[in-house]
Structure 1
Amino acid sequence: MQLDFTSLDPAESYRWLASTVTPRPIAWVSTVSAAGVSNLAPYSFFQVVCDEPPTLMLSVGRQPDGRLKDTLVNARDTGQLIIHLVSAELAETMNATAATLPHDVSEIEQLGLDTVPGDRVTVPRFGAAPVAFECEVAEIKPYPVQDPRHFLIFARVLLAHVDDAVLADARHVDPGKLDLVGRLSGPWYATTHDRFGMTRPP
């Protein structure tokens, strides 16, 4: 089977890309609007892009009606965000925050989630997440430039919160204790329960 992506419509392109490039890590992003309304939403077009400076990247698409999503608007307006990682026990809560709410309604308040203030940013942190990265916006790039459908947010990591319960030792995380979930396609997710190790060649 061959797929000619130059002739696929965006919905078909998304379906094939999102169902084959799997599993994808999930960025669970908290932001605050200029008016002070908090937001928490998951994104699976997400990855580490640089270690010096330490930088994460997420791609935020538009709403189906073309409007910009709250995460993008808030990050653009305030220059701050916190990216949380999603453990298996938090998967259902993460999924609940994917609901589309009015701009002036907070997912955090709607779901009654317990948060703590950020240390380096004025954004609430969801304390139950096993890892959370407090970030400042380094750059936002519209893509494609001529008619942007997505916006790449490059987020420089200022401070990380790592739950002691997921550590293997002082310098390493135990992936079994971290127990993250990854995004597949449609309603499907994957756990990291089934793992294997390999030694890299010299």
Structure 2
Amino acid sequence: MKHRFFDFQTLPPLDRYKLLSGSVLPRPIALVTSVDAAGHPNAAPFSFFGVLSHDPPVIALGIENRPDGSRKDTARNIDETGEFTVHIPNVALLRQVEICAAQYSPGVNELDLADLPSVAGQAVGCPRITTAPVALECKLKTKVELGSARQIVIGEVVGLFVRADAVNDRLHIDPRIIDAIGRLGGPAYASTRDQLVTGQ
């Protein structure tokens, strides 16, 4: 098998992004809700996202800054309130995820634009999208500033909602019912409908 080597110390940022986002896949999508200090809601998806630990229960979000270097609403809201909710979207929510991914002016309510029904959070003050099969309510644990391009937000999961028919008494979750989507690159996505089972 023949490979090509790319020296990341010499590549411009956009080329590094294309190679990383095209190599590490499928990437799970975090559809994040947050509120600003005045209580205005925001919803935005992020595919630089993952679970880091179960003890303590910790997830990480990579939030890219805007082209002018300013922070996106999600990052600013988390700074102001210390809270956010991560939803795992399913195939049925794909179009609404893409609506939330567009660039809007601060203060625009993406939940309304995407017609996403929500209720008040239980352990945090962020709205929970009721059509998402999973929601992780998080409190800010720490963050890492990565220069002017991006910050890593580390959140501790303080509560989790999951579709009742997707989890059994042993707390095993059925990925077929969750029907989650993952980012491949550009407009391409994968879903947990496609499974390779080893038999172990």
Please give the TM-score of this superposition, normalised by the length of structure 2: 0.94
Q: Say whether the 8 Å CA contact 1:182–1:191 is kept in structure 2.
A: yes
Shift of 1:23: 0.4
Aligned ranges for residues 1-202 of structure 1 at < 5 Å? Answer: 1-143=4-146, 147-198=147-198
CA distance, structure 2, for counterparts of residue 177 and residue 110 of structure 1: 26
The total of aligned residue pairs comes to 197
Q: Which amino acid aligns with 1:160?
A: L
SS in 1 for 2:101: coil
CA distance, structure 2, for counterparts of residue 168 and residue 9 of structure 1: 47
SS in 2 for 1:172: coil
Shift of 1:35: 2.1
Q: Which amino acid aligns with 1:98?
A: A
Shift of 1:167: 2.5
Q: Percent identity?
A: 36
SS in 2 for 1:90: helix
Mean Cα deviation higher: 105-114 or 39-48: 105-114
CA RMSD of aligned residues (A): 1.3
SS in 2 for 1:17: helix
Shift of 1:196: 2.1
Please give the TM-score of this superposition, normalised by the length of structure 1: 0.93
CA distance, structure 2, for counterparts of residue 176 and residue 110 of structure 1: 28
Structure 1 moving runs of 4+ over 6 Å = none
Unaligned runs of 5+ in 2: none
Shift of 1:37: 1.3
Shift of 1:110: 2.5
